[in-house]
Amino acid sequence: MRASSDAALVLFSGGQDSTVCLAWALERFTRVETIGFDYGQRHAVELAVRPTIRERLAALDPQWRARLGEDHVVRLDALAAISETALTRDVAIEMGANNLPTTFVPGRNLVFLCFAGALAYRRDLKHLVAGMCETDYSGYPDCRDDTIKAMQVALTLGMDRRCVVHTPLMWVDKAGTFALAREIGGENMLDLVIAETHSCYLGERSKRHPWGYGCGDCPACRLRAEGYARFIAEGDRTA
């Protein structure tokens, strides 16, 4: 059976990047399914916001609603069991001796892409869409463009079926991601990204800032806040 050429599976975590990727995919593919991974994250807030984001995206555009298909949540307890990381254990978020932040889960995106590829095969979805980005998280080797391209080749060979991995944010910084959200879906899409997507490593959702909810102090919050500030400044410049 040939994979239908216009169907995609989006790696959708509930974060800012993967939400913009989901909107990007809904613009391009006639059938779009989503996959999320539960790997024992210290705070499951990201997973909890996913259904709301999917519903709000569908409400933005009747065509998007028609295209948005099933959601799949895959438990990957084994990934947490073999990782010592600030995302899955009670470890401080800081730079480790290997020059990588302690939030780094070794090989996480390789594992995610393998599972996504296997599900895409079964669901007859030719395209994978993922939010990896070299621009901001340059410390994460499994976010690099070469890593993703190598995975595309491995998945295509290993399953003997063409698998295309799209990473629309690979060279886009956080300011650019806010701008892309507005470009794809206007002010409503931008509002959705700010209000509903989750980035904070501490799982904080009681404090609202101009850029969204979060503690305001962890690396993910700082990156998001700085990106939003640049986005506003650049918007003013082009206005």
Question: Cα angle vertex 172, ends 62, 37, to 5°?
Answer: 65
How far apart, in whole angstroms, are the C-alpha atoms of residue 53 and residue 17? 12
> Which 8-state DSSP code applies to residue 37?
E
Residue type, 64: W
CB of 8 to Zn ion, least distance (A): 30
CB of 205 to Zn ion, least distance (A): 10
Paired sense of beta strands 212-213 and 208-209, if any: antiparallel
- Which residues of this chain interact with Zn ion, rule CB under 5 A? 200, 202, 214-215, 218, 221
Residue 119's CB: how many other CB atoms inside 10 A? 16
158 versus 203: smaller Cβ distance to Zn ion: 203
CB of 43 to Zn ion, least distance (A): 10
Residue type, 236: D
Q: What is the CA radius of gyration of the chain?
A: 17
